[in-house]
Structure 1
Amino acid sequence: MTRVSGRAETLDVLGVGFGPSNLALALAVQEHNERSGGSSRVEAAFVEQQAAFGWHRGMLLEGATMQVSFLKDLVTMRDPTSPRSFLNYLQGQGRLADFINTKTMFPSRVEFHDYLEWCAADVRHLVSYGTRAVAVQPVAGDDGTVDELDVVLRDAAGDGTRTVRTRNLVLATGLVPWLPPGVQRCERIWHNSELLYRLRDLAPAPPRSRRYVVVGAGQSAAEATAYLHDREDAAAVHSVFSRYGYSPADDTSFANRIFDPEAVDHFYAAPGEVKQMLMDYHANTNYSVVDPELIGDLYARAYQEKVGGEQRLHVHGASRVTGVPEAAAGDIDLQVEFLPTGQRHTISTDIVVYATGYRPIDPSGLLGDVGAWCRRAEDGELLVERDYRITTTAPLRAGVYLQGPTEHTHGISSTLLSTTAVRAAEIVDSVLGHRRPEPELPVAHDAVGEHATLGSGVGDPGVITE
C-alpha cells in the first residue's frame, strides 16, 4: 500500500475502458465543466486498450440497424439541448433533412457508430488509447484511510508502465465473447463479434460453394445468418439453435418502459424475488430474440428456396451442437442433436460461427487488494449502490464505480444504450456529492519525488510517468 507523500495532484475520475458507457461519461464531464468552473470542476481521464475508438466493429453489417431509438444516444436523455446529440451530429454532416425523410427512429448501425466516433473525437484530449490498466493500488493517508487509488497503466506497445492517481475509478470494460465450454476460436471457428474481420481474411472461395454453420438464436445470430446467405450466391448456411424457431423481440410500448430511467429506480428498490420476476417477464425484450422483420425475411428466403428446389438456407430448430468441433484439414463435422427425438446427424461445413453471446468481466483481477474492500452478496455478485458506486468497507473511501455488469441491481438496461446518458449524469453527480475538502498539506519543494506533478488532462491526460 502506497502512503501519501507531499501534495500530488490527483484526478477526480479515471475511467477504464472507452466504449459508449465511458464515452457518455466523458461527454457528461466535459459539459459539466463547460457550465461550471473552479472547485466544482471534475478532472477526468480515460484509458482504452484499443488503438482507436471502436464498438462492435466486427458486426457493422451492411443493412443492419440499431434496435434502440436514436433519441437514446449518449446525451439526449440527460440533456436534450446538448450539442453532442445524434440530431446535432446529423446537422453537422448535412444529413438532418435526409434522415427525417427516412421516417425511422432506428439509424443503421454503421451510421450510429460514426456518431459515436464523432463524439469520441470531441473528447479525444481526455483519452489515452492503446493503454491498458493492469493494477490498482490503494493509497493510504496518515490515518490509514484510502481516499485515493494508484492505477498502473501499460502501453500496448509494451514500453513500460506509468501510474495515475485518482479519487474515483469508473470501470466500463465491456463484455467478452462467450463460447461453449471446450470450443476454441481458430481460423475456421469464430465468435460472431469478429465476423467481418474473419470474412475479410478468408481465402478466395473454393471451386465448390462455401458452407457455414451459425450457432445461436438471437439477433446477432439471425443477422449473421442473413449476411452470410447474401454474401455468396452459392453459399450454404445452416442455423442451429435450441428454440423451435426464432423468437420475436418484444419492442411494444408498454414493454419498452422496462428501459426507462424510472424503471431503474423501481428495479433497484425491489426485493430479490421481484427483480428475478421482472427479468424473467421481460427477457424477451433483449435476450435470444430477433427483430420480427428479420424473422420474416429469413423464413421467406427458406420458403422460396424450397419452392425452387435448391435450398441454401437450412434452419435447424430445437437442435443443439453436441461435442466440440475440431477444425482440422478438410471438413468440420458438427454433430447436431434434434432435441425432441434425440436423433443425431452430421453437418459438414467449412466455417462455424458461434453467436452465443457475451459475459461480463469480473473486475477482481484488476482491483487486486482493493477488491477485498468491495462487498459482495451471498451469490458472489458485487453490491452496487443506486449511483453505480460499489459498496465498500473501511478503510476504502475512494469511489469505485461499475458501468455495465449491474443487471442484478439495476435491471435489464444495464448493458444497453437505453440509460447510458442518464447513468453518466448520475455518476458525475455522485462524484461531486462524495467530494471531500482538500486537506491543507505542505507544498512539496522537490519537483521530482515519489510522484511528479500531473498534467492538466489535455494532451497527456493526467498520467504520472515512472
Structure 2
Amino acid sequence: MAFEGKVYDLIGVGFGPSNLSLAVAVADEMENAGADWNLEMLFLEQKPGFVWHEGMLIKNTNMQISFMKDLITLRNPKSRFTFLNYIKEQNRLDEFINLKEFYPTRIEFNDYMAWVAQHFENCVRYGQTVTSIHPVTGQDGEVEYLEVSVTDADGQASVFRTRHLVVASGGTPTFPATVDVPQADNVFHSHNFLYRLNQQFSNSEEPYRFLIVGGGQSSAEIFTHLVGSYPNADVTVAMRAFNYKPADGSELVNQIFFPEMTDFFYELSPENREKMLRAHYNTNYAVVDSSLIRSIYKMLYDQRVVGVDRFRILSFLELKELSTQAGEVFAMFENVMTRETVQLQSDAVIMATGYDRPKRHPLLKSLEPFLVTVEDGGYEIEREYRLVTKAGFKPSIFVQGVNEGTHGLSDTLLSVLPYRASEILRSLHQQMRTVINSDEVTIGW
C-alpha cells in the first residue's frame, strides 16, 4: 500500500457539487489572501471524471432552482466561477438571455459544474474509492492526523494523510426496506436510468413493457421520457399515493430555503425541528413540478382522445415483492385502500424510490470512539457543519448534505452550497488559527 508521505491540510471525500463549491470558496479566498494563506487540499472521487446524476441527465429536463443558485453567485456574484461567466465563456450569453429562462436544462447545469471542476484537476484524483479512514496518534497520545485509504479502478491501494476532513459523498440509492430486490439487469434504481436504458433497451421502436415504482420528480421525468422516446412501449407508474402531487414552490413557502433559516432551524429543539420538516415535506419530497404534472395530464388526455391505452398511472399500490423469470420481472403489489393483491409483469422495473443519508456515515465507523453522539443515534454537529469530537482529537471533520435533521430542508439541495462552503471555510480557518473577520475579508476572485 503506497503512502506518498505528504500531509494535506484538507482532504475531501467525494467531488460532487458540495465539495466542488468548497473548492471554489477556497480558490476565491486563496486568491484574495495572496501569499498570506495557503491550503493544501485534495479531493478523492470514485467516478472517473466529474458528472452530476449522470443517470438522470434526461434531455429537456430543467433544473428546479434558478441558475443564480449556482456554486458561488449568492455568496460572491463577482466570482469567475458563476454560471453566467460559464455562459459567457461558452459564447452563449446573448442567446441565453434571449431564452428568458431562469431554469437551465439539467444537461447544461451539469456542463457548467464540469467546466468549474476542470479548474481544480490539480487537486482532484478521480477513480479513487475511499475504503477506510483511521486516526493517527502523535507522541503525546492525541490524534494528530487522519489516514485515508483508497483503491483505484485497478485495485491499487494508496494512503493519504490529512489534518482535516470533509465528507460529501452524496446519498445512497434506496429501495423499500421490506422488498427483496433481485440482482438483475432489468431491475434498477433511477440513478442508473439512462445507463441501463441504453445498455438493455437500445431499440426505441421495440414494444417494451416498463414499470416505474415511485411518485416523485424522478418518477415523473422517467415516465415522460419513456412515453415520448419509446412510441411502441407500454409504460406504467405504480405509486402508494393517489397521484403525482405538486411541489409547493410558492414564494412565501420558498423562504424556508433562505440562508437565515438555517440559523433559525439549528436553534430549534429536536421536537420543533421535526415539526418543521413534516410541515414542509411537500417542498422537496414525493412531489413534482406543477408544469410537469400539467404535461403528464395533457399526455394522458391526448391518449384518451385517440382511444389508446399505452401508458397509465396506477394509484394506491404498495410494492410487496419482486422476482424475475426468463427475462421478465414480476411485481406484486397490495392496494393500500382495498388490500387487494395486484401483479404486474414487465420487461424492466425502474425504482424511483429516493436516496438514503444515514445518520452515521459508514466511512467514519473507525472514528466513532472520538465522536460525540446524540439521542437519535447521529453525530452531534456544530452550526458550521463540524462534528463535535472528544478531547484529544485534533482534526476537524465536516460533513455535507446529511444534516437535514439539524440544519433544515435546504441541506440536501444546491441552494445552500455557497453559504455552507463559506461557513466550513471560516471554521477551517479558525481551526488553523487564522481568524477571518467577515467585515474585512471578501470571499471573491
Q: Distance in 1 between matches of 2:36 and 2:395?
A: 18
Q: Does 1:365 align with 2:362?
A: yes
Q: Does 1:52 align with 2:49?
A: yes
Q: Does 1:35 align with 2:32?
A: yes
Q: How does 1:63-462 map to 2 (within 5 A)?
A: 63-159=60-156, 161-180=157-176, 181-203=179-201, 205=203, 209-323=207-321, 325-360=322-357, 364-436=361-433
1:206-263: per-residue Cα shift (whole Å, max 9, x none)?
9961111100010000000110111111111111111111110011111111111111
Q: 1:82 to 1:342 in 2, by over 3 A?
A: same
Q: Contact between 1:174 and 1:404, CA under 8 Å: does it hold in 2?
A: yes
Further displaced range: 130-139 or 73-82: 130-139
CA-CA distance at 1:304 after TM superposition: 1.9
Further displaced range: 301-310 or 164-173: 301-310
Q: Distance in 2 between matches of 1:217 and 1:130?
A: 33
Q: 1:399 to 1:307 in 2, by over 3 A?
A: same
CA RMSD of aligned residues (A): 1.7
Structure 2 match to 1:444:
none
DSSP 3-state at the match of 2:414: coil
Q: Contact between 1:331 and 1:350, CA under 8 Å: does it hold in 2?
A: yes
Q: 1:207 to 1:400 in 2, by over 3 A?
A: closer
Q: Distance in 1 between matches of 2:295 and 2:43?
A: 42
Moved >6 Å (runs of 4+): none
Q: Contact between 1:332 and 1:348, CA under 8 Å: does it hold in 2?
A: yes
Q: Distance in 2 between matches of 1:182 and 1:94?
A: 50
Q: Distance in 2 between matches of 1:363 and 1:379?
A: 11
- Name the aligned partner's letter for residue 142 of structure 2: T
Q: 1:185 to 1:97 in 2, by over 3 A?
A: farther
DSSP 3-state at the match of 1:12: strand
Q: Distance in 2 between matches of 1:355 and 1:384?
A: 30
DSSP 3-state at the match of 1:15: strand
CA-CA distance at 1:307 after TM superposition: 2.4
Q: 1:176 to 1:72 in 2, by over 3 A?
A: same
Q: Distance in 2 between matches of 1:13 and 1:39?
A: 18
Q: Distance in 2 between matches of 1:254 and 1:40?
A: 41
Aligned residues: 428
Structure 2 residue ranges without an equivalent (≥5): 435-445
Q: Contact between 1:59 and 1:194, CA under 8 Å: does it hold in 2?
A: yes
CA-CA distance at 1:89 after TM superposition: 0.3
CA-CA distance at 1:54 after TM superposition: 1.2
Give the TM-score taking structure 1 as reference length. 0.88
- Name the aligned partner's letter for residue 160 of structure 2: V
Higher-Rg member (1/2) = 1
DSSP 3-state at the match of 2:410: coil
DSSP 3-state at the match of 1:391: coil
- Name the aligned partner's letter for residue 246 of structure 2: P
Q: 1:206 to 1:273 in 2, by over 3 A?
A: closer
Q: Distance in 2 between matches of 1:174 and 1:422?
A: 18
DSSP 3-state at the match of 1:326: strand
Structure 1 match to 2:441:
none
- Name the aligned partner's letter for residue 175 of structure 1: G
CA-CA distance at 1:205 after TM superposition: 4.8
- Name the aligned partner's letter for residue 280 of structure 1: R
Give the TM-score taking structure 2 as reference length. 0.92
Percent identity of equivalent pairs: 38
Q: Distance in 2 between matches of 1:20 and 1:266?
A: 24
Q: Contact between 2:136 and 2:147, CA under 8 Å: does it hold in 1?
A: yes
CA-CA distance at 1:330 after TM superposition: 4.5
Q: Contact between 1:10 and 1:167, CA under 8 Å: does it hold in 2?
A: yes
Structure 2 match to 1:440:
none
Q: Distance in 2 between matches of 1:36 and 1:156?
A: 37
Q: Contact between 1:174 and 1:361, CA under 8 Å: does it hold in 2?
A: no
Q: 1:271 to 1:298 in 2, by over 3 A?
A: same
